[in-house]
Chains A and B, each alone.
Chain A
Amino acid sequence: MTESPPMLRLEKVEVVYKKVITAIQGVSLDVQQGQIVVFLGTNGAGKTTTLRAISGFIGTDDAWVTEGRILFEGQDIANWPPQKVANRGIALVPEREKIFETLTVMDNLEASVGAGASRATRKRMIDTVFDHFPRLATAKTRLAGYLSGGERQMLAIGSALLCEPRLLLVDEMSMGLAPRLVEELLDHIVTLKKTLGLTILLVEQSAHLALGIADYGYVIENGRIVLDGTRERLGGHKDVQEFYLGQGGGDARKSYREVKQYRRSRRWYG
């Protein structure tokens, strides 16, 4: 790991839903400025919960960060309201309900531009989004509810960019999309990182594509981080190969619990 203080640091974060359901526990992770970090895990592992904890989206579901700290640029933002987090420079592209379906594409973008911006600034900012995603420009006046899956994702990312974030959180972008489309979107993500200098935390279920563009990765399982490392280390790791890349010889993708190796590789077992 590099020595400079990370942009985002989670320290032993625990999130409890409705005062009884502990969704994640002892989650610690670092996101360095200017990196793309992937966050891998199967369904229900706690990926979304982690992102929502960072973006302040959990309080509305009666879930709270009960332990640990979430440090963004050195400041603890745990349990902040979502709007405050957004203003602080973190934007979230949620897993579901990521666009306003009853609004046109243009209105979706307009609604996302920060309050103080003048008409000219707004236009300039929206034009930048159209530069990144030309497909949106051709669909300006269409209702967002009628967009295709890929276009929705682009619109969601585009609207998030309008909040001028320094850190972008993207939740399961690939869900329900064809692999080709996912590749295209991932290319966009890399471009965004390069042109805007964005830092990106990317949540995915499959390591297949995501690991390819990542600088660093974490694996979460049952609400705990079980593995982390650079792309090379993760890509080469036996467990990841077996479970997330489907390369473990014999029948691919066994259940984790069937394999003892998984337990041994947990961080706290050394």
Chain B
Amino acid sequence: MAQASGYFKTSYGQELRLIETTTQKVALAAFVVVLLVYPFFAKPFFLDLANQVFLAVIAASALMLLTGFAGQISLGHAGLLAAGAFTTGILYKEVGAPFWVTLPASAVVGALLGLVFGLPSLRLKGLYLAVTTLALHFIVAYAGGEYETKRGYSTGVSVSPPSLFGFELTQGRHWYFVLLAFDVLVVLFCLNLVRSRTGRSFIAIRDHDTVAEALGIPVKRTKLLAFVISSVLTTLTGSLLAYYQGFVTIQAFTIYLTIEYVAMVIIGGSGSMLGAILGAVFVVLFPHVIEAAIRLVPASRHLVNDAFAINFAAFGLIMVLFLIFEPLGLVGIWRRLRDYFLLWPFRQTAVGKGG
């Protein structure tokens, strides 16, 4: 219950609960209703946006597990997405495999790549690890490009929509519910994982890997596990992306895409699943908001052709600002606002005033 002086946990069970207060229950119920009703009112454009957000949420959750919880920096996220998309595209093109083959196959490729991407993490930390995963990105991208040119699909590989018992997944609204279901599953999975023993080991190796080792946490196995889980979720997203867009091209998986995902983690708020969701929403919608803003302000209409560049610059700027001024991301802002209202009229100060 929310009380005037704040909300306190009175048993260990409460500590593990996902939904803590009545207010949260009500808010969540309202949110679910909105989510369910949305596709029946939204225009196709907005439906497409929602679907893109849903796709991003899965991959952002994956990166959040790896970077935000297990503390392993990866700059190979676009490479993994590409691997998933290309596994799907290649299997479809070469042997005409249906989605119930390509999707698990992508996951298997993801698991293998997770091991490959994760192996360097056993020897390297922080910066050096980031650099290795970046290098792996280039290798995956090269392999994808090779496939495209060698097989003569230099503009990309087209994939037809998944179908089951004659039902084809083409409509935006159908996609909406499929992806929403995926999101719910993935987010619940991640939330539970984070609360589990494994999840706590992730946090332990993020915060103090030497201490974790001393406590008997199998650091190497845990690191690899984090990479594998994250990677499987990412390649699955890549596979879904291939179907959703009906088209796979290596041009779509640039370093910039990786940076967008890293930005989702940073802007959303590292170390929080809510952060992954908020970050995904923010980053996917950002360019559209910028473009709308340019169109709205009459004086800047002539800039519409430069929208792409403006978007780039603004995105870089936002990332810089978050990194410097709000390392806790949107979640940090959200929590401060919430505490402010919960504790009002009392002012909340951290322990120890210094700094």
Contacts of B353 in A (CB 8 A): 66
In the assembled complex, A72 has its CB within 8 A of some CB on chain B: no
In the assembled complex, A20 has its CB within 8 A of some CB on chain B: yes
CB distance from B354 to the nearest CB of A (A): 3
Interface size class of A (residues with CB under 8 A): 10 to 19
In the assembled complex, B352 has its CB within 8 A of some CB on chain A: yes
A62 and B327 CA atoms in complex are apart in Å by 15
When C-beta atoms are compared, the residue in chain A nearest to B354 turns out to be A64
Contact A79 B354 (CB under 8 A): yes
Number of A-B contacts (CB under 8 A): 22
Per-residue contact bits, chain A 40-66, to B (CB 8 Å; 1 contact, 0 not): 000000000000000000010011111
Contacts of A20 in B (CB 8 A): 351-352
Contact A62 B351 (CB under 8 A): no
In the assembled complex, B355 has its CB within 8 A of some CB on chain A: yes
Contacts of A16 in B (CB 8 A): 351-352, 354
Interface size class of B (residues with CB under 8 A): under 10
CB distance from A58 to the nearest CB of B (A): 9
In the complex, chain A residues 42-101 whose Cβ is within 8 Å of any chain B Cβ: 59, 62-66, 79
CB distance from B352 to the nearest CB of A (A): 4
A66 and B351 CA atoms in complex are apart in Å by 10
Contacts of A62 in B (CB 8 A): 355
When C-beta atoms are compared, the residue in chain B nearest to A78 turns out to be B354
A62 and B355 CA atoms in complex are apart in Å by 8
CB distance from B351 to the nearest CB of A (A): 6
When C-beta atoms are compared, the residue in chain A nearest to B350 turns out to be A19
A16 and B354 CA atoms in complex are apart in Å by 8
Per-residue contact bits, chain B 340-355, to A (CB 8 Å; 1 contact, 0 not): 0000000000111111
In the complex, chain A residues 1-40 whose Cβ is within 8 Å of any chain B Cβ: 16, 19-20, 22
In the complex, chain A residues 98-153 whose Cβ is within 8 Å of any chain B Cβ: none
Closest 9 CB pairs of A and B: A64-B354, A16-B352, A19-B352, A66-B354, A66-B352, A64-B355, A19-B351, A19-B350, A66-B353
Chain A residues at the B interface, C-beta cutoff of 8 Å? 16, 19-20, 22, 59, 62-66, 79
New A-B pairs, 17, CB < 8 Å, besides A19-B355, A20-B351, A65-B354: A16-B351, A16-B352, A16-B354, A19-B350, A19-B351, A19-B352, A19-B354, A20-B352, A59-B355, A62-B355, A63-B354, A64-B352, A64-B354, A64-B355, A66-B353, A66-B354, A79-B354
